[in-house]
């Protein structure tokens, strides 16, 4: 299966400013951890925005980093992939339920669904197409990308794919595997837009092969900090316009081989 | 949008408050007898009716998979060992190879009950329990990983979690992976188990009824929550001659509100129309619709309006939430299997507890289960975040 990568966006600690992010991905600068600022997804109406959590704002801000002139309201679908979802919400709900009164607010509850970010995004964008929210644990990035590419292959049109994960608050963080927040958004289509970055082909699965590492070795801590980090070598390859193959971990011990051409 | 290649339903298993196995659900449907009970549940401090599966208490997770131990995965295992499902999966594995059978499952809350218990433990003892395992129980992917390991499969898959449409959308995902050659067959299914998060969460939205739920009734006042599990083996039609087929799917977003459906049912209309386009069927060829029919004021009104826009007022339909309760992330698979049973058993399920039909809805569901043989049926599932899915099954 071969599809066009029409645009990409990344947000994480130290990857906020677009130009700086680009020079880090090109290997011109080293990545350094920096505290995340409060993200403001201003496409959401204020009344909806104030109900959002840092994880929802991370996902929305990342999609907002894509150029928006190709969002066809009729033929755009979305795939939202997050390994852990919003553990800040789980923490608040489970804390409230451990007390005698057991009072949960309606906003807390409707934010608890795994498709919360997708719901807010559809309200903000008015995109009414199919929307999938999924998890595959450590294989979440690859599984989400596979679903997005598969949707484009079957139905054509455009798929907005966003993978995002956010560290859990204490005390859940000791049981969770996400060290840094990170979101990657990719707009995928069966046809090339004017500024397309290249084509992506899912070549197939293999065992006994090592995962691709980041070419800019300073990004390695970010790649290893969450399931979303698995996508960093792919994003680097797309920004560098390098014709190359990347190996991304999938379910169990299996890996996906992906070819990038420009 | 292209027409879809139908896929055969070659095996299925269903567990809900009506009982364990499809014979129990068929009997409940035939007898118009609900699985819902007014009962106490540990930790619950308000009155409601629940659809519990008590047999799950006696299930133990396989020793080699014990990290996955939680009520949700125990309920999954109960369904997997029912209705000879293992035997059908075994022959599929022989036919295609373990790496060519996908697993696509849906849940809304996964094993969150374990995290609820851990916080309760923390409240009393200042620490989480020693065996607390967030990533193997509460993490949404737990269900897919558990089912895949338990069945010894090694194909593609993931857990879809889009609230109450989760285990309807798995049919679309599995179909896409099969038709693109990434697997030859797939297990689709869903599980949701009782937990305090959904009980108190829906209570906070004032959507839980103290009485038995009454979809499409003039006095309907909310949902009853049930737990359920169900799985289906989806195979190419050439290996399922004479079996009911999965014929069409439609997925859409309301883009309207996080927890209230679009008042005119715009998203639902789009999902139903897309499902019919993919199935190459028109509205007059859909002979029964299993409604989402949760029994909240807003859901039933929006769904009735959407149905009227697509089918007019002569449509034959019912909500089976009065039998099973609202099984949330398992509603898609539960109601898909009920729709398939309707085709196989020549029955159209009744809409239990509708004592005084809400005429303003204009759509009147069947009051009791009726004998009738039909060719094509549709099932609707709508979730929070405005996430809609309609499926079509037929001969």
- Residue A219 reports pLDDT greater than 80: yes
- Residue A27 reports pLDDT greater than 90: yes
Report the residue of chain A nearest B388, measured CA to CA.
A130
Element (H, E) at B318: strand B317-318
Least Cα separation, residue A120 to chain B (angstroms): 7
Set B138, B177, B262, B326: catalytic member: B326
Three-class SS string for B25-49?
HHHHHHHCCCCCEECCCCCCCCCCE
Given an 8 Å threshold on Cβ–Cβ distance, is A171 in contact with B122? yes
Active site includes B86? no
pLDDT at B308: 98
Q: Average pLDDT, stretch A218-232?
A: 98
How far is CA B126 from each of CA A94, B114, B119, B352, rounded to the nearest angstrom? Answer: 14, 16, 9, 46
Please write the tens of the pLDDT for every residue from B56-112: 999 999 999 999 999 999 999 999 999 999 999 999 999 999 999 999 999 999 999
Active site includes B292? yes
Nearest CB to B140 within list A85, A147, A153: A85
Q: Which residue carries 């009982």 as its tokens? A: B19
Given an 8 Å threshold on Cβ–Cβ distance, is A175 in contact with B132? yes
pLDDT at A108: 96
Nearest CB to B141 within list A78, A118, A136: A136
- Residue B177 reports pLDDT greater than 80: yes
Set B177, B292, B317, B389: catalytic member: B292
Please write the tens of the pLDDT for every residue from A45-60: 888 899 999 999 999 9
pLDDT at A50: 92
Set B18, B164, B195, B389: catalytic member: B164
- Looking at residue B108, what DSSP letter applies? S
pLDDT at A262: 86
Active site includes B124? no
Q: Distance between CA atoms of B349 and B12, rounded to whole angstroms? A: 18
Q: Average pLDDT, stretch B156-184?
A: 98
The tally of CA atoms less than 13 A away on the side-chain side of residue B290 is 33
- Taking the Cβ of residue B208 and every Cβ of chain A, the question of whether any pair is shorter than 8 Å is answered with no
Strand order, beta sheet including B225-226: B37-38, B49-51, B225-226
- Mean model confidence pLDDT for chain A: 95
Nearest CB to B140 within list A135, A147, A252: A135
Confidence of residue A71 (pLDDT cuts 50, 70, 90): low
From the number of C-beta atoms within 10 Å of its C-beta (0-12, 13-18, 19+), residue B134 rates as buried
Q: Average pLDDT, stretch A193-222?
A: 95
Contact residues on chain A for B177, CB-CB shorter than 8 A: 150
pLDDT at B59: 97
pLDDT at A242: 84
Nearest CB to A171 within list B128, B138, B385: B128
pLDDT at B46: 95
- Residue A12 reports pLDDT greater than 70: yes
- Looking at residue A85, what DSSP letter applies? -
pLDDT at A68: 73
Element (H, E) at A79: strand A76-81
- Residue B215 reports pLDDT greater than 90: yes
Interface A-B: count of C-beta contacts within 8 A: 210
CB atoms within 10 A of CB A72: 11
Confidence of residue A41 (pLDDT cuts 50, 70, 90): confident
Q: What is the ipTM of this complex?
A: 0.98
In the stretch 244-303 of chain B, residues with CB closer than 8 A to chain A read 251-259, 266-267, 270
Given an 8 Å threshold on Cβ–Cβ distance, is A94 in contact with B115? yes
The candidate with the shortest Cα–Cα distance to B339, out of B265, B297, B390, B382, is B390
- Taking the Cβ of residue B209 and every Cβ of chain A, the question of whether any pair is shorter than 8 Å is answered with no
Please write the tens of the pLDDT for every residue from A72-99: 777 799 999 999 999 999 999 999 999 9
Confidence of residue A141 (pLDDT cuts 50, 70, 90): very high
Q: How many residues does chain B have?
A: 395
Higher pLDDT, residue B13 or A40: B13
Sign of the CA dihedral with B124 first, then B128, B131, and B133 last:
positive
Confidence of residue B200 (pLDDT cuts 50, 70, 90): very high
Please write the tens of the pLDDT for every residue from B320-374: 999 999 999 999 999 999 999 999 999 999 999 999 999 999 999 999 999 999 9
How far is CA B266 from each of CA B229, B269, B305, rounded to the nearest angstrom? Answer: 29, 5, 9
Q: Distance between CA atoms of B360 and B346, rounded to whole angstroms? A: 30
pLDDT at A70: 60
Q: Average pLDDT, stretch B309-314?
A: 95
Q: Which residue carries 């408050």 as its tokens? A: B17
pLDDT at A69: 65
Least Cα separation, residue B249 to chain A (angstroms): 11
């Amino acid at each position: 299966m071969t599809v066009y990568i029409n645009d990409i966006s990344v947000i994480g600690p130290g990857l906020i400013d677009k130009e700086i992010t680009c020079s880090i991905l090109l290997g011109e600068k080293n990545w350094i951890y920096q505290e995340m600022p409060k993200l403001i997804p201003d496409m959401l109406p204020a009344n909806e925005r104030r109900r959002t959590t840092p994880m929802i704002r991370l996902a929305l801000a990342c999609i907002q980093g894509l150029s928006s002139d190709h969002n066809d309201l009729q033929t755009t679908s979305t795939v939202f992939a997050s390994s852990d979802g919003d553990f800040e919400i789980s923490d608040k709900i489970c804390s409230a339920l451990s007390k005698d009164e057991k009072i949960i607010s309606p906003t807390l509850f409707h934010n608890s669904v795994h498709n919360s970010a997708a719901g807010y995004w559809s309200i903000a964008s008015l995109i009414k197409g199919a929307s999938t929210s999924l998890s595959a644990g450590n294989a979440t990035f690859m599984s989400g990308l596979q679903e997005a590419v598969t949707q484009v292959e079957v139905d054509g049109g455009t798929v907005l794919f966003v993978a995002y994960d956010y560290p859990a608050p204490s005390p859940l963080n000791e049981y969770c595997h996400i060290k840094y927040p990170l979101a990657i958004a990719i707009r995928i289509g069966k046809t090339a837009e004017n500024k397309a970055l290249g084509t992506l082909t899912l070549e197939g699965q293999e065992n006994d092969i090592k995962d691709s590492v980041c070419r800019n070795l300073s990004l390695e801590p970010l790649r290893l900090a969450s399931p979303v980090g698995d996508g960093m070598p792919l994003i680097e390859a797309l920004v560098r316009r390098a014709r190359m193959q990347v190996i991304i971990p999938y379910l169990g011990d299996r890996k996906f081989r992906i070819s990038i051409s420009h | 949008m292209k027409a879809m290649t139908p896929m055969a339903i070659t095996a299925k298993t269903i567990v809900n408050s009506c009982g364990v196995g499809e014979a129990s659900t068929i009997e409940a449907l035939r007898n118009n007898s609900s699985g819902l009970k007014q009962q106490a549940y540990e930790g619950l401090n308000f009155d409601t009716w629940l659809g519990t599966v008590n047999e799950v208490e006696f299930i133990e997770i396989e020793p080699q998979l014990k990290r996955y131990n939680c009520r949700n995965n125990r309920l999954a295992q109960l369904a997997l060992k029912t209705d000879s499902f293992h035997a059908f999966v075994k022959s599929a594995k022989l036919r295609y190879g373990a790496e060519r059978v996908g697993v696509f499952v849906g849940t809304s809350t996964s094993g969150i009950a374990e995290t609820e218990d851990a916080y309760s433990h923390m409240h009393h003892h200042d620490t989480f329990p020693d065996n607390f395992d967030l990533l193997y129980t509460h993490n949404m992917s737990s269900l897919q990983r558990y089912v895949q390991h338990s069945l010894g499969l090694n194909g593609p898959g993931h857990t879809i979690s889009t609230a109450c449409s989760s285990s309807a959308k798995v049919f679309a995902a599995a179909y896409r992976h099969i038709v693109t050659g990434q697997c030859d067959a797939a297990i689709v299914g869903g599980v949701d188990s009782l937990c305090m998060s959904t009980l108190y969460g829906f209570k906070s939205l004032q959507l839980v009824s103290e009485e038995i739920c009454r979809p499409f009734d003039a006095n309907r006042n909310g949902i009853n929550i049930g737990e359920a599990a169900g799985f289906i083996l989806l195979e190419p039609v050439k290996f399922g001659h004479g079996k009911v087929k999965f014929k069409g799917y439609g997925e859409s977003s309301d883009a309207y509100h996080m927890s209230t459906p679009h008042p005119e049912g715009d998203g639902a209309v789009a999902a139903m129309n897309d499902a019919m386009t993919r199935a190459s069927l028109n509205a007059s060829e859909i002979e029964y619709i299993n409604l989402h029919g949760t029994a909240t004021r807003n859901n039933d009104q929006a769904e009735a309006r959407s149905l009227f826009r697509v089918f007019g007022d002569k449509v034959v339909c019912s909500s089976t939430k009065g039998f099973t309760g609202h099984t949330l992330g398992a509603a898609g698979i539960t109601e898909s299997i009920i729709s398939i049973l309707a085709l196989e058993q020549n029955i159209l399920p009744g809409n239990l507890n509708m004592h005084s039909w809400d005429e303003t809805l204009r759509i009147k569901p069947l009051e009791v289960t009726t004998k009738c043989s039909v060719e094509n049926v549709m099932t609707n599932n709508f979730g929070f975040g405005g996430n809609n899915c309609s499926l079509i099954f037929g001969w």
